[in-house]
């Protein structure tokens, strides 16, 4: 199987470091609802994992929740809501949406606030190596002491700065040596939550949270680190810089997998532009399978624009697939579809070409429906629809998401209960 690697900018043969494929995916910052862009990221990762398992790989999968962050605190302030209850509410909402879409739950689902000791330990190590410095109760990573800063995104310093500024960097922070140095630990601001640390009360920087969580659960080297394309810089660049110097193992991540952005009305779907398409809203008109086939009909590396007419077409395909499994064929000649599965595997092996694979699935469904009309024996072909459907995370003729999907999310919820996170039953 071949997979594109952002680090090398090429499609490479996929081989994991060890017996398990270790996957980390940057999770949500829970302060608002799941939009189609989030759904594209997490269903693309879900298909990748399901396909790896189909190929016989064993997967260990960690996804985090960034439950302490500037955005959450700002939103909580605006709404006059406690930051914890805001985060809990939207975490529960995200879980409901993922269950509805039949997305595999991660094996570990840590929240950043559960990992403060591990984060502090990592910051201490970075200070010891001389790559981080303290100033004004904050700790910063000094980028000019790490020669390899920029190797993932391959941007010049001049190009990096405006992008970082757009994504949470404060270039005017007077305590920094360089405007691009990034925060590992930030001193408590009035009215903000804080934790005790060797540098005084404060809270972690965003980038270090993911590095601490990924290495805590998966070790110093990962096979795949995924996330939305907009996380490549500075978030993932910072993650490499935080891990490789202290782990002394390279590369920290074998395959960097970035999922493209979803557009609507000519702009990237984003809160600030107000052009979001919410998964919850779509689910009132379309079935989970229609949404998943529509999402899967786009290659994960190609950005695309939301178009309701396309989604309507995939609702028809989802309905047809259900029909093709509910109806029985006859005892005529067996419908031969061997080439379809081969073509499907060939497409998926080629950097997860789901765009092609969905078209193969659609052709197979049409053939089976024709076969049923012609009273052909379609049992084997129906089995192939199920196999492909399972890789796409489809519910098909079942009434609910798969039991193991629901059970897995419920396990996480049980652990979260003490924090006050409860999703509506599904």
261 near Zn ion (CB under 5 A): no
| Min CB(207)–Zn ion separation in Å | 7
Long-range contacts of 152-155 (CB under 8 A, 24+ apart): 152/6, 152/7, 152/232, 152/233, 152/236, 152/237, 152/240, 152/256, 153/6, 153/232, 153/233, 153/236, 153/237, 154/9, 155/233
Smaller CB separation from Zn ion, 225 or 340: 225
Helix (H, G, I), strand (E, B) or coil at 3: strand
The burial of 314, by beta-carbon neighbours within 10 Å (0-12 exposed, 13-18 middle, 19 or more buried), is given as buried
Closer residue to Zn ion in complex, CB, 39/291:
39
Least CB distance from residue 238 to Zn ion, whole Å?
A: 9
Q: Which stretch binds Zn ion (CB under 5 A): 22-30, 95-103, 120-128, 338-346?
A: 22-30
Find the shortest distance in angstroms from Cβ 199 to Zn ion. 22
| CB of 142 or CB of 211, closer to Zn ion | 211
Least Cβ distance, residue 29 to Zn ion (angstroms):
10
Q: Which of 69, 86, 55 is nearest to 26 (CA)?
A: 69
Closest separation between CB of residue 272 and Zn ion, Å?
A: 20
In the block, tokens 């089976």 appear at 368
Q: How far apart are CA 322 and CA 359, in angstroms?
A: 16
**Among the candidate windows 1-9, 18-26, 91-99, 335-343, which touches Zn ion by CB under 5 A?**
18-26
Q: Minimal distance in Å, beta carbon 211 to Zn ion?
A: 8
Q: Which of 62, 357 has the CB closer to Zn ion? A: 62
d(CA 308, CA 314): 10
**Dihedral angle, C-alpha 24, 103, 275, 293, nearest 10 °:** 120
Residue ranges of alpha helices (H) inside 193-270 are 206-218, 237-247
- How many residues in the shown chain lie near Zn ion by CB under 5 A? 2
Complex with Zn ion: residue 65 or 210, whichever CB lies closer = 210
Shortest spacing between CB 256 and Zn ion, in angstroms: 12
Site for Zn ion in 192-221 (CB under 5 A): 210
Choice between 223 and 353, CB closer to Zn ion: 223
State the Cα torsion 307-311-314-318 to the nearest 10°. 170
| Nearer to Zn ion among residue 243 and residue 405 (C-beta) | 243
Of residues 21, 23, 26, 112, which one binds Zn ion by CB under 5 A? 26
Residues that bind Zn ion (CB under 5 A): 26, 210
């Amino acid at each position: 199987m071949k997979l594109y690697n952002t680090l090398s900018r090429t499609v490479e043969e996929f081989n994991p470091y060890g017996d398990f494929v270790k996957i980390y995916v940057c999770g949500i910052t829970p302060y608002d609802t799941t939009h189609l862009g989030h759904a594209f990221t997490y269903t693309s990762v879900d298909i990748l994992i399901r396909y790896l398992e189909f190929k016989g790989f064993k997967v260990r999968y960690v996804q985090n929740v960034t439950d302490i962050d500037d955005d959450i605190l700002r939103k909580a302030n605006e709404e006059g809501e406690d930051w914890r209850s805001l985060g809990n509410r939207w975490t529960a909402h995200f879980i409901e949406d993922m269950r509805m879409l039949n997305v595999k739950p991660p094996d570990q689902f840590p929240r950043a606030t559960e990992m403060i000791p591990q984060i502090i330990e990592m910051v201490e190590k970075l200070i010891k190596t001389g790559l981080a410095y303290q100033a004004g109760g904050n700790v910063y990573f000094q980028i000019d002491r790490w020669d390899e800063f920029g190797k993932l995104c391959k941007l010049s310093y001049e190009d990096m700065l405006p992008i970082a500024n757009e994504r949470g960097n404060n270039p005017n922070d007077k305590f920094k040596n360089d405007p691009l140095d990034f925060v590992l630990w930030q001193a408590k601001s009035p009215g903000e939550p804080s934790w005790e640390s060797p540098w005084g009360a404060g809270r972690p920087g965003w980038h270090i949270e993911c590095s601490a969580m990924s290495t805590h659960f998966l070790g110093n080297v990962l096979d795949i680190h995924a996330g939305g394309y907009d996380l490549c810089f500075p978030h993932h660049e910072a993650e490499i810089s935080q891990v490789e110097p202290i782990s002394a193992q390279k590369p920290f991540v074998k395959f960097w997998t970035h999922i493209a952005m979803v557009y609507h009305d000519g702009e990237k779907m984003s809160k600030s532009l107000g052009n979001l398409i919410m998964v919850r809203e779509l689910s009132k008109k379309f079935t989970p399978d229609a949404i998943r086939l529509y999402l899967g009909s786009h290659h994960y590396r190609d950005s695309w624009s939301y178009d309701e007419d396309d989604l309507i077409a995939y609702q028809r395909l989802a309905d047809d697939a259900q029909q093709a499994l509910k109806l029985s064929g006859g005892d005529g000649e067996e419908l031969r579809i061997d080439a379809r599965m081969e073509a499907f595997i060939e497409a998926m092996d080629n950097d997860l070409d789901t765009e092609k694979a969905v078209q193969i699935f659609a052709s197979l469904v049409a053939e089976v429906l024709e076969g049923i009309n012609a009273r052909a024996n379609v049992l084997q072909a129906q089995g192939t629809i199920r196999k492909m459907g399972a890789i796409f995370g489809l519910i098909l003729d079942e009434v609910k998401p798969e039991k193991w999907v629901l059970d897995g999310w419920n396990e996480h919820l049980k652990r979260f209960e003490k924090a006050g996170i409860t999703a509506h039953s599904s």
